[in-house]
Structure 1
Amino acid sequence: MNKTIILLLLLLPAQCLVAQKRSLTKFPKGYTPEEIGKRIAYRFVDAKHALHAGKWISYPETFYWNGSLQYAALTKDQQLLDLLEKRFQPLFSTESAYLPPKYHVDLNMFGSLPLGLYQLTNNKKYLELGLPYADTQWEVPDNGKAPEKAWAEKGYSWQTRLWIDDMYMITIVQTQAYKVTGDVKYIDRAAKEMVLYLDTLQRANGLFYHAPDVPFYWGRGNGWMAAGMAVLLRHLPKDNVYRARIMEGYLKMMKSLKEFQTAAGTWNQLIDEKDSWAETSGSAMFTYALITGVKQQWLNERTYAPVARKAWMGLVRYVDEKGAVSEVCVGTNKKNDKQYYYDRPRSKGDYHGQAAYTWCVGALLEK
């Protein structure tokens, strides 16, 4: 065989590997995480509060805020960091009524925000505000009901309700508490809870029902699960008793997502229904989980880096010049009615989508 051909064949695997690595680092102008992240994060600075029940800072706003902070930190944008922290200050005074109470899974997750600010500023007032949101998730209130007490007696959060949304809400605040304290009880709690949800809701095809009594593969619901597992696995100690089970569930889901990805790179509102519409918030959450898996070497790079790149390129097309993401499913409760998911309104600039895009940006920017 010609020596030149032999040399090329020997170099081919290395060249392919370089190409795979570049697939998540090199993007054309208009598609870079720096550009998209800046557009979306700065949009948040002057945005209105998205209040839960018209009263308290909501979980979509919390996660949009978190993602914007991460972008600012990764890009060393001190101006943005200052603006995002300044926006928080009224919550200690004139806007204190907007601080969520600690009696529901969708409210306790707020603690992840001040705990994130503490990591960036080392200001203990953020730690003192945030940590009780993690602690009270495992402390049954005096007026706790029998089912809540039953979950607690088994070592689970009394806020357990077996909706897949919960596995980001619970995971993020408990993981943040672990990061700032080093106390493994927080990460252990989240891991045990995650296994409960995996065993209850993940199906043979790797996807998740919205709840035990809602047998549909809703996009963003599955996105919460994908993102939650990715966050948890990044910080879960290697010797944790639950790690292998969670990794099994994660890998099973990523394989399924690869198969259900559309030609445009995104995923549908109902993942397994081809006539359903492309939904961006869930698609962004899946993309975040895929990027993280490739970078953490949980996923085969040659197989999954192209999937993640295709997804990101597809997602960027839904961001306008002002940083607003379109085709976002509005807030959604569970319902045992498939048509309900088909018919959910689509929104533009909805914080569910804005937040998930910032997570993708952060995952792409992280080394």
Structure 2
Amino acid sequence: MNKWFFILLVLLPFQLFAQKNVLTDFPKGYTPEEVGERLSYRFVDSKHALYVGKWIGYYETFTWSGALEYAAMTKNHKLLKLIRKKFDYLLTEEKQYLPPKTHVDLNTFGSLALKLYRITKDKHYRELGMSYADSQWELPKEATSQEKEWAEKGYTWQTRLWIDDMYMITILQIEAYKVTKEIKYINRAAEEMVLYLDKLQRPNGLFYHALDVPFYWGRGNGWIAAGMSELLQYLPEDHKDHLRIMQGYKKMMESLKIYQNSRNIWNQLIDQDDCWSETSGSAMFAFAFIKGVKNGWLDEKEYAPLARKAWMSLVTYINEQGDVTEICIGTDRKNDKQYYYNRKRCVGDYHGQLAYLWCVNALLE
């Protein structure tokens, strides 16, 4: 037998095995189980992060949802009981914090209720969650002319063409689809996604924060990367919008691969080398890589090592209290480059905690 052929025959299985374990074998302190445990219990013990000081915000909603999914995936019944107890307390003693169905950021709360229904089968959670999902396409009497215009075109009246929306709207309608199996819900998410792709994705694959804000903000791009990843996992391959969304997703992943920095994460402004490394957007990009590899949308040999490097780096930004550091504060759009450079860096902010929990759950899938 040829010597080199023999060596190849011996080494190839080991190389394939190593490749398969890139997203499963982690050293102590870096496993998704350990990180998920730390962040989930940290959430249970944390106070509410209210939106404009009044209602449960999308950032708390998604952190809550991530902890809930982690508890369900790991069959941690103690944690699941604590999370459900916290939710039930919100529905009774703290119901003044329940968000109204008046804004794209606030309607996201319904996705948490629907996920809780899927796990517990408590119909009360379903009714609550569906009221948020359906109201997103029910034009209110006091709607503005612009909101009416979007509704007349078949989109949600909450459309505003900010890239953040493409997780907010998408995840709520996907959860409604999972619960009801009614195609109209995933159609809504897909059609909305195509609109945002057509309007906001640039030739380099990245997205402006909004039509009038020509900057590639990290977490904003993270929201849409995560939204496409979630949608593609449930959108039928023969759906009319599947190809368009997959093209947009892959184009973005190719660009993110280029801009992954020397710390193996991404900058606050993705394409600016002198901008600081930001964790929440980076975790969302890692999540999109992990989803792509595990679902076969991305080449495993190429993207799995990049996802691993990102995860290994991201874990080092968690402090002893279980709080993620270097998180960009909640950010409105602004046509001012320096504005994004100067955004406050937070510790333990839910925008970061939620993105890490997404990675945890994606790695455990």
Taking structure 2 as the reference length, the TM-score comes to: 0.99
Deviation at 1:37, TM superposition (A): 0.8
Does the alignment pair 1:193 with 2:192? Answer: yes
Deviation at 1:34, TM superposition (A): 0.6
Q: Distance in 2 between matches of 1:206 and 1:18?
A: 32
Deviation at 1:21, TM superposition (A): 1.2
Please give the secondary structure, in 1, of the residue aligned with 2:47. Answer: coil
Please give the secondary structure, in 1, of the residue aligned with 2:108. Answer: helix
Report what 2:296 is aligned to.
Answer: 297
Please give the secondary structure, in 2, of the residue aligned with 1:214. Answer: coil
Q: Distance in 2 between matches of 1:13 and 1:216?
A: 44
Deviation at 1:14, TM superposition (A): 3.6
Amino acid at match of 1:244: L
Q: Can you list the C-alpha shifts for 1:119-148, whole angstroms capped at 9, x where unaligned?
A: 000000000111011101111101111111
Does the alignment pair 1:69 with 2:75? Answer: no
Report what 2:133 is aligned to.
Answer: 134
Q: Distance in 2 between matches of 1:244 and 1:105?
A: 26
Report what 1:111 is aligned to.
Answer: 110
Q: Distance in 1 between matches of 2:121 and 2:3?
A: 58
Please give the secondary structure, in 2, of the residue aligned with 1:161. Answer: coil
Q: Distance in 1 between matches of 2:52 and 2:311?
A: 32
Q: Distance in 1 between matches of 2:253 and 2:41?
A: 31
Please give the secondary structure, in 1, of the residue aligned with 2:46. Answer: coil
Deviation at 1:20, TM superposition (A): 1.5
Q: Distance in 2 between matches of 1:193 and 1:16?
A: 42
Q: Distance in 1 between matches of 2:199 and 2:7?
A: 50
Please give the secondary structure, in 2, of the residue aligned with 1:138. Answer: coil
Does the alignment pair 1:244 with 2:254? Answer: no
Q: Distance in 2 between matches of 1:91 and 1:72?
A: 19
- Judge conservation of contact 1:17–1:302 (CA < 8 Å) in 2: no
Relative distance call for 1:11 and 1:199 in structure 2 (3 A) is: farther
Q: Distance in 2 between matches of 1:339 and 1:287?
A: 26
Deviation at 1:13, TM superposition (A): 4.0
Q: Cα RMSD between the aligned structures?
A: 0.9
Report what 1:91 is aligned to.
Answer: 90
Deviation at 1:11, TM superposition (A): 4.4
Report what 1:44 is aligned to.
Answer: 43
Deviation at 1:6, TM superposition (A): 1.1
- Judge conservation of contact 1:330–1:345 (CA < 8 Å) in 2: yes
Report what 2:100 is aligned to.
Answer: 101
Gaps of 5+ in 2: none
Deviation at 1:91, TM superposition (A): 2.2
Amino acid at match of 1:287: A
Amino acid at match of 1:30: G
Q: Distance in 2 between matches of 1:89 and 1:257?
A: 40
Does the alignment pair 1:151 with 2:150? Answer: yes
Does the alignment pair 1:333 with 2:319? Answer: no
Q: Can you list the C-alpha shifts for 1:38-91, whole angstroms capped at 9, x where unaligned?
A: 001100011000000111000000000000011111111000000000001122
Deviation at 1:12, TM superposition (A): 4.0
Q: Distance in 2 between matches of 1:14 and 1:137?
A: 51
- Judge conservation of contact 1:324–1:349 (CA < 8 Å) in 2: yes
Gaps of 5+ in 1: none
Report what 1:19 is aligned to.
Answer: 18
Report what 1:313 is aligned to.
Answer: 312
> Quick check: 231-240 or 332-341, which moved more?
231-240
Deviation at 1:10, TM superposition (A): 3.3
Deviation at 1:321, TM superposition (A): 2.1
Please give the secondary structure, in 2, of the residue aligned with 1:303. Answer: helix
Q: Distance in 2 between matches of 1:14 and 1:156?
A: 50
Report what 2:78 is aligned to.
Answer: 79
Amino acid at match of 2:103: H
Does the alignment pair 1:163 with 2:135? Answer: no
Report what 1:9 is aligned to.
Answer: 8
Report what 2:230 is aligned to.
Answer: 231
> Quick check: 172-181 or 234-243, which moved more?
234-243
Q: Distance in 2 between matches of 1:267 and 1:64?
A: 21
Report what 1:277 is aligned to.
Answer: 276
Q: Distance in 1 between matches of 2:344 and 2:34?
A: 28
Q: Distance in 1 between matches of 2:139 and 2:13?
A: 55
Deviation at 1:17, TM superposition (A): 2.4
Q: Can you list the C-alpha shifts for 1:256-290, whole angstroms capped at 9, x where unaligned?
A: 00100012111000000000000000000000010
Deviation at 1:16, TM superposition (A): 2.5
Report what 2:54 is aligned to.
Answer: 55
Q: Distance in 2 between matches of 1:22 and 1:60?
A: 32
Q: Distance in 2 between matches of 1:11 and 1:225?
A: 43
Q: Distance in 2 between matches of 1:232 and 1:15?
A: 34
Amino acid at match of 1:56: W
- Number of equivalenced pairs: 365
Please give the secondary structure, in 1, of the residue aligned with 2:334. Answer: coil
> Quick check: 306-315 or 6-15, which moved more?
6-15
Amino acid at match of 1:312: W
Taking structure 1 as the reference length, the TM-score comes to: 0.98
Amino acid at match of 2:152: E
Equivalence map 1:118-129=2 (5 Å) = 118-129=117-128
Amino acid at match of 2:81: D
